[in-house]
């Protein structure tokens, strides 16, 4: 009774259907009752027939005991099946809100709300349930810390705590009723000058980061696609000058689509340079970025392009077939696990429109086996290979670059 169910999903509200679950539960309970009574009837009838034979009295007691054990096991099995069925049908994990460390604000956010007019005739829903990531159940202390604040006052300066929850699978985060910390952004330049003008230290929030200024970040490797990427002087040659055979020029790739690239999605990481190059060519690109060691989101926004604060484990919050271009690199290899990458690649395919381009940019393969795994995965989608370049090194390491066109599937 002391728990609230959390719908697995990526929206801000979820609805629960009661009819399907109720029917399944009723059928399972009916089956359990009938089975239990049949066992009991059989046990007692056997005992009655054998009561006229005193010599077999001990055997009858043993038989009744066996049947009773079977009944108890059947009840236990039915209860476990019921719990599993509820989890599968409703699709949620549970978090025990009766724990003493769960703060009232979290309980209030997760409170169910009955629809004022009762059951909705079109959807069959009866109540609204606020949604948070199902893995939040594994981090109740951090979640309570995140939801501990003074209502209608300023939020704690704890964006890094929110990111820590996101990286542990607690995504989406619950909404809060407090005012986020603001940073005066007085030195921002107008667009398009902002694309290549340095961003001032005072324009971003440095709390929760090791560095407290951009000079500290120069030359640092913060990821496979960010080596000194906050230095716009060194970034200015990217995508317009070739350094190796695996590098493609942005104009060459756009030319493959005959001017049909209007909006794109970049999941390669970095400081927004790909989006900046596209913006110069009147293409709007959303850049997926978390703040791994640097203020990526604020830096990208300061350049005048769109950052998306989302982990790659989260289902992308876009409708099917909307982007003309998807750009990715080694960051797609989530934790080095093939299943993780498969889920990610299928979601990228979902948001890419038919005829759209998937630009795989210098994907690092540690071995020939990794290259073959990636090649087989790409071939499953049936993409047309417009560009395909493999750069091999003496130590067996491989970089793969490709431009692929999504087919029309009917």
Q: Mind spelling out the 3-state secondary structure of the chain?
A: CCEEEEECCCCCEEEEECHHHHHHHHHHHHHHHHHHHHHHHHHHHHHHHHCCCHHHHHHHHHHHHHHHHHHHHHHHHHHHHHHHHHHHHHCEEEEECCCCCCCHHHHHHCCCEECCCCCCCCCCEEEEEECCCHHHHHCHHHHHHHCCCCCCCECCCCHHHHHHHHHCCCCCCCCCCCECCCCCCCCCCCCCHHHCCCCCHHHCCCCCCCCCCHHHHCCCEEECCEECCCCHHHHCCCCCCCCCCCCCCHHHHHHCCCCCCCEEEECCCCCCHHHHHHHCCCCEEEEECCCCCCCHHHHHHHCCCEEECCCCCCCCCCCCCCEEEEEECHHHCHHHCHHHHHHHHHHHHHHEEEEEEEEEEEEEECCHHHHHHHHHHHHHCCCEEEEEEEEECCCCCEEEEEEEECCCCC
User: Is residue 316 within 8 Å of residue 344, measured between CB atoms?
Assistant: no
Mean pLDDT by 10 residues, the chain (410 residues): 40 40 54 60 53 56 77 80 55 62 84 81 81 82 93 95 93 93 88 94 92 90 87 92 92 94 94 96 96 95 96 93 96 78 94 97 84 89 95 74 94
**pLDDT computed for residue 307 by the predictor:** 97
The tokens 């990715």 sit on which residue? 328
Looking at residue 5, what is its pLDDT?
41
Segment 131-183, tens digit of pLDDT = 777 788 888 889 999 999 999 999 999 999 999 999 998 988 999 999 999 99
Per the CB < 8 A criterion, the answer to whether 176 and 158 are in contact is no
Q: How many CB atoms lie within 10 A of CB 344?
A: 20
Check residue 49 and give its pLDDT: 52
**CA-to-CA distance for 256 and 42, rounded, in angstroms?**
77
What pLDDT is stored for residue 324 in this prediction? 98
Q: Which residues contact 200 (CB under 8 A, 6 or more apart)?
A: 187
* Closest to 230 (Cα-Cα) out of 187, 198, 203: 198
The pLDDT score that the predictor gives to residue 33 is 59
Task: Give the per-residue pLDDT at 44.
Answer: 53
Query: Which pLDDT score is estimated for 114?
Result: 82
Q: Which of 149, 119, 163 is nearest to 298 (CA)?
A: 163
Between CA 311 and CA 260 the distance in angstroms is 28
Supply φ then ψ for residue 8, to 5 degrees: -75, 130
Global pTM?
0.74
**Among 169, 159, 160, 296, which Cα is nearest to 225's?**
296
């Amino acid at each position: 009774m002391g728990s609230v169910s959390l719908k697995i999903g990526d929206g801000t509200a979820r609805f629960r259907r009661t009819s399907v679950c109720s029917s399944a539960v009723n059928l399972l309970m009916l089956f359990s009752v009938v089975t239990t009574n049949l066992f009991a009837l059989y046990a007692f009838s056997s005992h009655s027939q054998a009561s006229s034979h005193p010599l077999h009295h001990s055997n009858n007691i043993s038989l009744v005991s066996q049947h009773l054990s079977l009944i108890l096991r059947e009840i236990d099995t039915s209860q476990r099946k019921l719990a599993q069925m509820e989890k599968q049908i409703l699709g949620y994990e549970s978090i025990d809100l009766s724990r003493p460390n769960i703060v009232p604000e979290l309980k209030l956010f997760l409170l169910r709300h009955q629809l004022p007019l009762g059951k909705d005739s079109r959807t069959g829903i009866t109540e609204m349930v606020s949604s948070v990531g199902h893995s939040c159940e594994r981090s109740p202390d951090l979640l309570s810390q995140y939801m501990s604040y003074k209502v209608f006052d300023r939020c704690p300066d704890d964006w890094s705590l929110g990111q820590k929850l996101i990286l542990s699978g607690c995504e989406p985060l619950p909404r809060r009723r407090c005012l986020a910390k603001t940073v005066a952004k007085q030195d921002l330049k107008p667009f398009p000058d902002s694309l290549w003008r340095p961003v001032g230290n005072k324009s971003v929030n440095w709390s929760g980061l090791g560095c407290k200024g951009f000079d500290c970040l120069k030359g640092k490797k913060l990821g496979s696609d960010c080596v000194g990427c906050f230095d716009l002087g060194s970034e200015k040659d990217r995508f317009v000058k070739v350094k190796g055979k695996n590098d493609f020029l942005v104009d060459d790739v756009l030319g493959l689509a005959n001017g049909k690239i209007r909006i794109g999605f970049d999941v390669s990481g970095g400081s927004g340079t790909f989006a900046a190059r596209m913006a110069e060519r009147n293409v709007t690109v959303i850049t997926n970025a978390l703040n791994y060691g640097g203020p990526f989101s604020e830096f990208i926004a300061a350049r005048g392009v769109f950052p998306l604060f989302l982990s790659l484990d989260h289902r992308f919050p876009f409708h099917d077939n909307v982007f003309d271009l998807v750009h990715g690199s080694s960051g797609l290899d989530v934790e080095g696990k093939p299943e993780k990458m498969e889920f990610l690649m299928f979601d990228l395919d979902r948001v890419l429109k038919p005829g759209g381009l998937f630009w795989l940019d210098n994907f690092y393969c540690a071995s020939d086996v990794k290259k073959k795994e990636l090649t087989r995965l790409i071939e499953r989608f049936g993409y047309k290979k417009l560009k395909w370049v493999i750069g091999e090194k003496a130590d067996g390491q491989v970089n793969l670059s490709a431009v692929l066109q999504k087919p029309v599937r009917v």
